[in-house]
Amino acid sequence: MSSYIVTGCAGFIGSSLVDRLLQDGHRVLGIDDFSTGQRRFLEKALENEKFLLKEIDLLDLEALKGQLRGDYEQVFHFAANADVRFGTRHPRKDLEQNTIATYNVLEAMRANGIKKIAFSSTGSVYGEAQVIPTPEDAPFPVQTSLYGASKLACEGLIAAYCEGYGFQAFIFRFVSILGERYTHGHVFDFYRQLAEDPTKLQVLGNGKQRKSYLYIQDCLSAVLLASGKAEGKVNIFNLGVDDYCELTQSIGWICEELRVSPALEFTGGERGWIGDNPFIFLETSRIRSLGWAPETSIREGVKKTAAFLRENPWVFQARS
């Protein structure tokens, strides 16, 4: 049994990780401010005596320092502003909830003598990648979104703490993650539109945007494997699947799952929104070399997500 801290423990990925860690018999201290996290995602965890929940805003460094404890051996820092799309409407959000929050987590770890951190970064840090599929050591990218820029800032801070304070880090650059508890992003938006009016669906862009998705449980398997196995000081891994789909394909799978046939209205253009990457497709041989491979296809992932949304209509109220 090990002891772990999970920030963003009530979020999509965080809460799924909490359940996996508890299932594996570990002790978990979960931290969330419930600004976007859902208490219902922790229902099962809260029944487990090995789970301890602390409601803390990561921007409150002193509170955070007071609640972390050195007998927890690693932090999974998965709290983030995941609202990639509306970055330009509130640029401060990425700065505070990603960059400054990460700095605070690192400082609170340092104050408590915790030196291992796993971090959820993003394939968005590659900007408009010049090499596709994009490897971890792709040419030095130019940022195209406030979200990507803030995640890159976090990566830099974490790596500097490894060098300066003897931390060890596992940094994961995710493609979009799908699956149960998925509560933002385009599958969510499409589902909501179709729930309101199954006869039509508005699609940002031309629908030809290519997307690569990873299923949540495959993602967590990679995170847990790498955190246990990687031995470097700063271990950076792309996480994704080896194929991709076009937006219209994933719409087809959603419609198939929901048994609807909407008329599609495209807003046009290659990008869904300013700063949207037309294509994030990651080269994953580094994580595969540790013995990981995804088990769920993009199609299955999209369909599982649509099924989860169908079975959990409350998430739409919770988010609105």
Instruction: Say if CB 251 and CB 190 are below 8 A apart.
Output: yes
The one among 62, 71, 137, 311 contacting a copy of itself by CB under 8 A? 137
Stretch that binds a copy of itself, among 99-107, 194-202, 244-252, 309-317 (CB under 8 A): 99-107
| Beta carbon of residue 92, minimum distance to a copy of itself (angstroms, whole number) | 8
Interacting residues with a copy of itself between 101 and 120 (CB under 8 A): 103, 106-107
For a copy of itself, the closer CB: 100 or 214: 100
Instruction: Say if CB 150 and CB 257 are below 8 A apart.
Output: no
x/- binding map, residues 265-284, to a copy of itself, per CB under 8 A? ---------xx---------
Task: For residue 90, state whether it binds a copy of itself (rule: CB under 8 A).
Answer: no
d(CA 154, CA 106): 10
d(CA 125, CA 144): 8
For a copy of itself, the closer CB: 161 or 279: 161
d(CA 294, CA 309): 22
Task: For residue 99, state whether it binds a copy of itself (rule: CB under 8 A).
Answer: yes
| Beta carbon of residue 117, minimum distance to a copy of itself (angstroms, whole number) | 14
d(CA 307, CA 22): 25
Radius of gyration of the chain (CA): 19
Stretch that binds a copy of itself, among 19-27, 39-47, 94-102, 296-304 (CB under 8 A): 94-102
Task: For residue 152, state whether it binds a copy of itself (rule: CB under 8 A).
Answer: yes
d(CA 128, CA 169): 25
Instruction: Say if CB 262 and CB 209 are below 8 A apart.
Output: no
Q: Let me know how long the chain is.
A: 320
x/- binding map, residues 165-194, to a copy of itself, per CB under 8 A? x-----------------------------
Task: For residue 228, state whether it binds a copy of itself (rule: CB under 8 A).
Answer: no
| Beta carbon of residue 86, minimum distance to a copy of itself (angstroms, whole number) | 11
| Beta carbon of residue 284, minimum distance to a copy of itself (angstroms, whole number) | 15
Amino acid identity, position 47:
E
Task: For residue 156, state whether it binds a copy of itself (rule: CB under 8 A).
Answer: yes
Instruction: Say if CB 262 and CB 194 are below 8 A apart.
Output: yes
The one among 43, 90, 142, 261 contacting a copy of itself by CB under 8 A? 142
| Beta carbon of residue 276, minimum distance to a copy of itself (angstroms, whole number) | 10
Task: For residue 80, state whether it binds a copy of itself (rule: CB under 8 A).
Answer: no
For a copy of itself, the closer CB: 90 or 208: 90
* Of 74, 72, 77, 71, the residue nearest 56 (C-alpha): 77
Exposed/middle/buried for residue 81 (C-beta within 10 Å: 0-12, 13-18, 19+): buried
Instruction: Say if CB 76 and CB 223 are below 8 A apart.
Output: yes
Amino acid identity, position 126:
Y
d(CA 269, CA 239): 28
d(CA 189, CA 194): 9
Interacting residues with a copy of itself between 36 and 75 (CB under 8 A): none
Q: Which residues bind a copy of itself (CB under 8 A)?
A: 87-88, 91-92, 95, 99-100, 103, 106-107, 126-127, 130, 136-146, 148-150, 152-153, 155-157, 159-161, 163-165, 234, 236, 274-275
